[in-house]
Amino acid sequence: MASSDVMVHLNQKALRLLQEDADKIEKLIAIQMENLATRKCPLYEEVLDTQMYGFSRAVDFAVRAGLVDEGAGKLLIMQLERNLALLYEAQAQRQE
């Protein structure tokens, strides 16, 4: 395998793993929202903050290691934040 092929493979693998992590965070938050019934719960906020911080650090590492392009890393974080915002909106509408 040529050097560029290896980097493409590593890039794709890193993006796939980060996307899987983002999906897990979304599922975790969705489950917490269903069980806690409010996003104002301190436990919910702590879990969300911890998960988002950990994910952003993983993305930062992948970018600094050259495994993921900076733009792609920012896009992953933005997509996760947008998806979580949609979850919040859905939860708020259910509570009304």
- The per-residue pLDDT for 46 is 81
pLDDT digits 0-9 by tens, 18-30? 999 999 999 988 8
pTM, full prediction: 0.82
Whole-angstrom distance, CA of residue 2 vs CA of residue 84: 39
Mind listing the domains of the chain with CATH numbers?
Answer: 1-94 (1.10.287.750)
How much of the chain, in percent, has pLDDT values that exceed 90? 54
Which residue, 56, 49, 53, is CA-closest to 75?
56
What totals of helices (H) and strands (E) does the chain contain, helices first?
3, 0
2: number of CA atoms within 13 Å, CB side? 3
